[in-house]
């Protein structure tokens, strides 16, 4: 019986298969991918409550935001800001 076990085993008395290091590497990469995806989703959810998302969806809000930024930087004066904001609101 001992001779049958020595002759019959998994490797038939030879070395381990050459692809055995692939399994722990793939296992580690799988968990890195899971952690990376979790980090991405958590970070996306935390940043999702900002006002940038609605402004990007609404072109009018984006235009008003750009106009307010230009006024804040001093690129346009108050009269021009008020004229352009009223033009945006009236659509003419």
Confidence of residue 52 (pLDDT cuts 50, 70, 90): low
Confidence of residue 92 (pLDDT cuts 50, 70, 90): low
Quote the mean pLDDT of the chain. Answer: 80
**Cβ proximity of 88 and 67 under 8 Å:** yes
Confidence of residue 28 (pLDDT cuts 50, 70, 90): very high
Instruction: Give me the pLDDT at residue 90, please.
Output: 87
Determine the Cα–Cα distance for residues 27 and 46; give it in Å rounded to an integer: 29
- Threshold 0.75, pTM exceeds: no
């Amino acid at each position: 019986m001992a001779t049958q076990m020595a002759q019959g085993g998994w490797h038939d008395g030879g070395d381990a298969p050459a692809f055995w290091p692939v399994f722990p590497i793939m296992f580690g990469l799988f968990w890195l991918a899971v952690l990376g995806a979790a980090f991405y989703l958590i970070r996306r959810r935390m940043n999702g409550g900002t006002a940038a998302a609605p402004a990007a969806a609404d072109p009018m809000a984006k235009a008003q935001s750009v106009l307010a930024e230009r006024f804040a930087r001093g690129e346009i004066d108050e009269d021009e800001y008020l004229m352009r904001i009223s033009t945006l609101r009236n659509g003419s």
